[in-house]
Amino acid sequence: MNNNLLNVIIAGLKLTTPTALASGILGYSAESMQAVAESGAGAVVTKSVGVTPRMGYANPTVVQAKTGLINAVGMANPGINEYIKEISYAKTILQVPLIVSVYGYSAEEYALVSKKAAEAGADAVELNVSCPHVKYTGSEIGQNPKLLRDVICKVKAEVRKPVIVKLSPNVTDIVEIADGAAKAGADALTVINTVRAMAIDAETTLPVLSNIRGGLSGPAIKPIALRCVYDIAECVKTPILGCGGISDWRDAVEFLLAGASAVQIGTAIATEKPSLFQDINRGVTAYVKRKGFRSVNEIVGKSHHA
Amino acid sequence: MSANLTTLNTLRTTQIVDLKTETDTVKTFTVKDNLCSKAQPGQFLMLWIPGIDEIPLSIQNAGDGEASVTVKAVGDATRHLHEMKTGQTVGIRGPFGTYFTESRGRVLMVGGGTGTAPLLFLAKKLAAKADRLSFVIGAKTKNDLLFLKDLDAVCTEESVHATTEDGSYGLKCLATEPLEKLFDKEKFNIIYTCGPEQMIRKVFDLAEKRKIAMEASLERLMRCGIGLCGSCVIGKYRVCRDGPVFNLAQLSHVKDELGISKLGFDGSVIPI
């Protein structure tokens, strides 16, 4: 979309639209990410990649809840040594920034994978310190301020590209965690990852997900995510990518007003039309114009001064 | 959230109401499910074997509040399913995905192995509509040929051509072998195919060369079934959402992968 009004710069990344593809969604192959970019996404985030391949969990890995989805895919990924081929290929076809999501079981692993991703051409890395369903990584790191600080510092020492940190809502005080991440050097924060949840089938009496516990996404978590963005924006200066249940332009605008500089979209890709990104971009443009602003940047954090 | 998708994607637990042994390794299971009973030929459902796994299966028949799937015991999930009995509980999501267009005129179907199942569903619907309905069916050996009698009943007389790899029944060759001769002899308006992907690839190459319309139902590793997880992508398409039924024009965009490679459970590219 050639529309300067929607241009944003976040952590040095130039986005032509403020709507990005969230991690975990369609993020294996360069071609599927390119399809999403062509549909209007301003940036794409890959699936989370680690040092070694992971097969993920047995199905069921995704369960429908009344107003959202619960997933425990289990961070299936081919490992960074294999995935760098896809990163290099993606860079040859993508016109938007490529953000590689990274996980590890130690600060050293996060740093190693981030370094390889950046060398392969990633425009930024997003540290997954918030996946709620894999042991010894993800939110088990993001819930521990000391570990989190160590991870960010080690990655920053290895990588010159922007380092984005994706936060978990499954903490007592997300502002404290965000503040710690900012002080450790995070260039931007993605707020939020999924909310820990589960589903039980009454007839069989069994938990449905093979992993029992997973993460809730979709409209159900939007108000939670919005509050997290608002709270963090109030106290922390680091730019925010809002994420959680965004499925139309009004949701996106609300996140920008709460203090996000851009948003990420995931679950709605399944539930809404293929024109989702374009529809949201158009809706945001119309809103910005109707309210008399020249740029989407002018509405960021507006609710705080209302 | 789209109300329709939420409804289709909500897990329903239901009973196996009928079970038919087709061959030594293939059984057809019928379950009660109102939503899947309205499925179109080519669509699939996600079947949950409680406590074991959840797998995508092509729908073999649908109607009267029921849907059937034909399953070969090949892995852990399908072997567990084969041990289940009538009255036992399974979970269902769907129906999902695109379906075969119901073309009139002169129709050819090419089915390999359990890929014959969704084509039988389509053939039953087309029997009254098509001018001519021919079928090439292939399997490893005579005992693996599925639905021969059913196909004979719905196809045009003497238009079901069977092939087996060991020559135990019909022609001793792959299902794609008789096609060139058939095309020389007869004009077809459309080819529908489902089965092993190398077979689909050969049918595609022939259809492209001879400029015959074609639709194929593809199979990939699937997790979510609703177009989110990316496990089943081929080129820019998601097999669960943009497929599983693709036409010739769409297939020509994925020539680099069709019959050649797919994604494994860890998202790495593996040969087919």
Residues of A serving a catalytic function are: 131
A19: distance to nearest CA of chain B, Å? 17
- How high is the mean pLDDT of chain B? 96
Q: Tell me what pLDDT residue B237 has.
A: 96
Contacts of A28 in chain B (CB under 8 A): 230-231, 233, 263, 267
Residue B233 sits at the chain A interface (C-beta within 8 Å): yes
- CB contacts, 8 Å: A198 with chain B: none
Minimum-distance CB partner of A73 among B50, B229, B233: B229
**pLDDT bracket for residue A177 (50, 70, 90):** very high
* Superfamily of segment(s) A4-305: Aldolase class I (3.20.20.70)
Minimum-distance CB partner of A203 among B13, B52, B241: B13
Q: What is the predicted pLDDT for the residue at B150?
A: 96
Fill in the DSSP letter of residue B144.
G
pLDDT for A272: 87
- Hey, are the CB atoms on A64 and B235 less than 8 Å from each other? no
How many whole angstroms separate alpha carbon A29 and alpha carbon A44? 11
Q: Is CATH 2.40.30.10 what the domain over B3-96 is classified as, yes or no?
A: yes
B89 CB within 8 Å of a chain A CB: yes
Question: Range(s) for CATH 3.40.50.80 in chain B?
Answer: 106-271
Q: Do A76 and B267 touch (CB under 8 A)?
A: yes
Name the 3-class secondary structure at A194.
coil
- Give B94-107 pLDDT, tens digit per residue: 999 999 999 989 99
pLDDT for the residue numbered B3: 65
> What digits encode the pLDDT tens for the residues A94-107?
999 999 999 999 99
**A56 contacts in chain B (CB < 8 Å):** 223, 265-266
Distance from CA of B90 to the nearest CA of A (A): 9
Q: Which residues contact B210 (CB under 8 A, 6 or more apart)?
A: B183
- Categorize the per-residue pLDDT at A1 as very low, low, confident or very high, splitting at 50, 70 and 90: very low
ipTM of the complex: 0.93
pLDDT tens digit sequence for B66-85? 999 999 999 999 999 999 99
In the numeric block, which tokens belong to residue B91? 């979970």
Average pLDDT over residues A17-22: 98
Query: For A97, how many CA atoms within 13 A lie in the half-sphere containing its CB?
Result: 29
Looking up tokens 């965009």 gives B253
Check B6 against A219: CB less than 8 A apart: no
* Residue A168 confidence (pLDDT) above 70: yes
Among A73, A206, A218, the residue with its CB nearest the CB of B1 is A218
**In this complex, is the C-beta atom of A266 within 8 Å of any C-beta atom belonging to chain B?**
yes
Residue A16 contacts residue A96 (beta carbons within 8 Å)? yes
Q: What is the mean pLDDT of chain A?
A: 96
User: Cβ of B228 and A29 within 8 Å?
Assistant: no
- Distance separating the N- and C-terminal Cα atoms of chain A: 30
| Res A2 pLDDT > 80 | no
Contact A32 B230 (CB under 8 A): yes
Q: Which of B14, B223, B234 is the best residue to mutate to test the A interface, defined by the most A CB atoms within 10 Å of its own CB?
A: B223
Which of A271, A272, A279 should we substitute to test contact with B (largest number of B Cβ atoms within 10 Å)? A271
Q: Which residues of B touch A29 (CB under 8 A)?
A: 230, 233, 263
Mean pLDDT, range B244-257, rounded to an integer: 98
Chain A from 37 to 66: CB within 8 A of any B CB: 47, 53-56, 58-64, 66
B224/A32 Cβ within 8 A: no
For residues A217-234, average pLDDT: 98
For tokens 């190398």, what's the residue?
A: B198
Other CB atoms within a 10 A radius of the CB of residue B37 amount to 18
Using 50, 70 and 90 to split pLDDT, how confident is the model at A271?
A: confident
* B144 pLDDT above the threshold of 60: yes
pLDDT for residue A305 is more than 90: no
Reported as a pLDDT band with limits 50, 70 and 90, residue B4 is confident
d(CA B206, CA B183): 9
Nearest chain B residue to A84, by CA: B268
Average pLDDT (A134-148) is: 94
CATH number given to B106-271? 3.40.50.80
Cβ–Cβ under 8 Å, residues B40 and B100: yes
User: Is the CB of residue B57 less than 8 Å from the CB of residue B47?
Assistant: yes
Residue A71 has pLDDT above 70, yes or no: yes
Q: Do B233 and A203 touch (CB under 8 A)?
A: no
In Å, how far from its chain's centre is CA B5?
22
Name the residue among B18, B138, B24 with its Cα closest to residue B73. Answer: B24
What residues of chain B lie within 8 A of the CB of A76, using their CB?
A: 231, 265-267
Distance separating alpha carbons of residues B209 and A57, to the nearest angstrom = 42
Tracing tokens 């989190």 back to the chain, one arrives at: A148
A245-265: average pLDDT: 98
Mean pLDDT of the B209-213 span: 96
Q: Where in chain B is the domain with CATH 2.40.30.10?
A: 3-96
Position B41 scores a pLDDT of 98
Residue A75, pLDDT > 50, answer yes
- When pLDDT is averaged across residues B97-124 and rounded to a whole number, the result is 96
**Test the B interface: residue of A59, A71, A209, A216 with most B CBs within 10 Å:** A59
Q: In this predicted model, which residue has the larger pLDDT, A272 or A232? A: A232
Inter-chain residue contact B229 with A62, CB threshold 8 Å: yes
Residue A35 in contact with partner chain B when CB distance is under 8 A: yes
CB contact under 8 A, B1 and A53: no
What amino acid is encoded at A202 in this protein?
A
How many separate helices (H) and strands (E) can be counted in chain B?
A: 7, 17
Predicted confidence band at A274 (pLDDT cuts at 50, 70, 90)?
A: confident
- Return the domain boundaries, chain A: 4-305
The verdict on a CB contact (< 8 Å) between A28 and B54 is no
pLDDT of residue B2: 62
Angstroms from B46 CA to nearest CA on chain A? 9
Tell me which chain A residues have a C-beta less than 8 angstroms from the C-beta of B261: none
| pLDDT, average across residues B49-61 | 97
Question: Is B55's CB within 8 Å of A59's CB?
Answer: yes
What is the band of A260 on the pLDDT scale with cuts at 50, 70, 90? Answer: very high
Find where tokens 């053939």 sit. Answer: B123
- Please give, rounded to a whole number of angstroms, the shortest distance from the CA of A136 to a CA of chain B: 19
